[in-house]
């Protein structure tokens, strides 16, 4: 800047003012962007509330526990572990048909069961849709007592 007896020349003043305006505009854009990102985070958080975890273990020829209880319209993480030596299915076609499944690729093509290989672990994120009682069984081992139930309250 060019000072003449404490006075800033018009050119220097204009350049300084332009720089300040560019800086202010950049700061406003930054603050607006951060605000939008914060709002988006809140909206996404509200859209997917924290899931309640329910565990279901498969041991050859039984489910542990053999009965699951869900609350209607509450989001769950159904955590599945096959501790058996054989492939098991979590077959509950009516329950799965009425539930909103967030990751339907965890189910078979018909969306009637979840196939679990020995040692496999899966999480299914779901929101039960209709209160009632539903059958739970292993399609390959129900003849040997691998059955249970599901209640949606």
pLDDT tens sequence across 4-61: 555 555 555 555 555 556 656 656 665 556 555 556 655 555 556 799 999 999 998 9
pTM (two decimals): 0.69
Claim to verify: residue 87 and residue 30 sit in the same structural domain: no
Claim to verify: residue 15 and residue 40 sit in the same structural domain: yes
Q: Distance between CA atoms of 126 and 11, rounded to whole angstroms?
A: 66
Among 92, 63, 55, 72, smallest CA distance to 132 is for: 72
Claim to verify: residue 25 and residue 69 sit in the same structural domain: no
**Unique residue bearing structure tokens 């059955």:** 147
The count of domains in the chain is 2
- Supply the range of the domain harboring residue 80: 52-152
């Amino acid at each position: 800047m060019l000072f003449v007896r404490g006075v800033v020349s018009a050119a220097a003043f204009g350049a300084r003012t332009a720089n300040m305006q560019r800086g202010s505009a950049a700061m406003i854009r930054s603050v607006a962007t951060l605000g939008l990102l914060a709002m988006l985070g809140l909206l996404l958080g509200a859209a997917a509330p924290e899931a309640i975890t329910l565990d279901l273990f498969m041991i050859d020829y039984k489910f542990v526990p053999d009965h699951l209880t869900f609350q209607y319209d509450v989001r769950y993480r159904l955590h599945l572990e096959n501790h058996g030596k054989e492939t098991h299915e979590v077959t509950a076609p009516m329950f799965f048909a009425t539930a909103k499944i967030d990751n339907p690729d965890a189910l078979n093509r018909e969306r009637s069961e979840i196939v679990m290989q020995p040692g496999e672990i899966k999480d299914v994120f779901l929101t039960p849709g209709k209160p009632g009682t539903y059958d739970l069984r292993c399609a390959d081992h129900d003849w040997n007592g691998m059955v249970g139930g599901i209640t949606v309250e």
